[in-house]
Amino acid sequence: MSLTNYKFNYSLISNSNKPLILFLHGFMGNIDEFDEAIILLSDDFSYLTIDLPGHGKTQVLGSEECYTVPNTAQALINLLDELQIPQCFLVGYSMGGRLALYLNLHFPERFSKVVLESASPGLAIEAERLERIQHDYQIGRKLIRSLENDDFAAFLSNWYTQQIFGDIKNHPKYEFMLESRLQNHPLELDKSLRFMGTGYQPSLWDKLKENKNPLLLLVGEYDRKFRDINQKMADICENAQLKVIKKAGHNIHFENPREFIQNLRIFLQ
C-alpha cells in the first residue's frame, strides 16, 4: 500500500547510534502510548512512535481498505524505507501487537527482536471470526452513537470495565489515560475496529510455525484470556519466550511499567 494513501503522524527520537525501537499502540491509543516506558528506557535506545490509522493525528487519504492489517503493515514498511531504517526492534501492544506479529512474520528481515504485549495471532476458526466481526460492528455502532450523543467519555468508562483490564480503573493515572483516549475520533476508531479488528484480520496461527525472530510474549497475571492464548503461541514458536507480569491485566506497560521495561531491557540487550 503506497504511502500516498496515508499521512502518518509520527515521532522519531534518535540517540547517537543507539538501536531503534518501533512502538505500535493498541486500540484507542495514540503516539503517546509508550511515553512513560520511553522515559524509563532513557537514552539507551532510539524510538519511533506512530499514530496508527484511525487514531490520533494520522490521516488516511485512501479507501477504507487502508485500515486493514496487511495494508497498514505495508505502509509502515514503506515509512521505514522513507526514514532509511533497514532494521529495528519492534514492540506492539494488543491491536498493535497483532499488527507487529503480522509485520514480523511477513517482513522478518526488518526486525531483529519482537515484543508482543497482550497480543494474539487472530482467530483460526471461520465461525469465530464471523462472530467477532459482528461483535466489533456492534461496538462500532456504540462508538458512532457516542459521537451523536456527545458521550464518548461514557463509552470509554464502560470499555475499561472489561475483565481483561483487571483493576485498571483504580490506577492513579487512569483519568490521565482517559484524557489521552479522548483525543481520538469515534468515526475513525469505528473504521479501525471494523477493518483492523481481530475478526477481520488474517489468522496467523499457521504462519507462527515459520517464525524466524526471537519473540518475547508479555501477558498480565490478571488477563487469563491472553495468558491462555500466549501459552499456545509459545508452544508453537520455538524462539518465543512467555513472561507473566505481576500486578497487571491487559495493559501491562501502563499498570506495571517498571517490570515491563525490565523485561524489555533483558530481552533487547
What tens digit of pLDDT does each residue of 231-245 get?
A: 999 999 999 999 999
The answer to whether 251 and 93 are in contact (CB under 8 A) is yes
pLDDT at 263: 98
pLDDT tens digit string along 146-194? 999 999 999 999 999 999 998 999 999 999 999 999 999 999 999 999 9
Domain membership of residue 187 (yes or no) is: no
pLDDT at 252: 97
- CB-side neighbour CA atoms (13 Å) of 178: 19
Domain membership of residue 174 (yes or no) is: no
Whole-angstrom Cα distance, residue 210 to residue 204?
A: 10
Q: What is the 3-state secondary structure (H, E, C) of the chain?
A: CCHHHEECCEEEECCCCCCEEEEECCCCCCCCCCHHHHHHHHHHCEEEEECCCCCCCCEECCCHHHHCHHHHHHHHHHHHHHCCCCCEEEEEECHHHHHHHHHHHHCHHHEEEEEEECCCCCCCCHHHHHHHHHHHHHHHHHHHHHHHCCCHHHHHHHHCCCHHHCCHHHCCCHHHHHHHHCCCCHHHHHHHHHHHCCCCCCCCCHHHHHCCCCEEEEEECCCHHHHHHHHHHHHHCCCEEEEEECCCCCCHHHHCHHHHHHHHHHHHC
pLDDT at 78: 97
pLDDT tens digit string along 38-96? 999 999 999 999 999 999 999 999 999 999 999 999 999 999 999 999 999 999 999 99
In which band, very low, low, confident or very high, does the pLDDT at 109 lie, cut at 50, 70 and 90? Answer: very high
Domain span including residue 92: 3-124+202-268
pLDDT at 208: 96
Domain membership of residue 246 (yes or no) is: yes
Domain membership of residue 168 (yes or no) is: no
Q: Flag whether the pTM goes above 0.85.
A: yes
pLDDT higher for 1 or 114? 114
Q: Residue 99: what residue type?
A: L
pLDDT at 3: 81
For 162-200, letters b (16+ CB in 10 Å) and e give eebbbebeebeebeebbebbeebebebbbbbbbbbbbbb
What residue has cell string 491509543? Answer: 29
Domain membership of residue 30 (yes or no) is: yes
In which band, very low, low, confident or very high, does the pLDDT at 16 lie, cut at 50, 70 and 90? Answer: confident
Domain membership of residue 220 (yes or no) is: yes
Domain containing residue 215: CATH number: 3.40.50.1820
Whole-angstrom Cα distance, residue 70 to residue 61?
A: 17
For 24, 37, 102, 118, 217, the CA distances from 263, given in Å and listed in that order, are: 17, 12, 22, 14, 10
> How many separate domains does the chain show?
1
pLDDT(12) > 90: yes
Domain membership of residue 135 (yes or no) is: no
Sign of CA dihedral 82, 85, 86, 89: negative
In which band, very low, low, confident or very high, does the pLDDT at 1 lie, cut at 50, 70 and 90? Answer: low
Domain membership of residue 213 (yes or no) is: yes
pLDDT at 193: 95
Span 110-136, mean pLDDT? Answer: 96
Averaged pLDDT of the chain: 96
pLDDT at 2: 75
Tally of CB atoms within 10 A around 116: 29
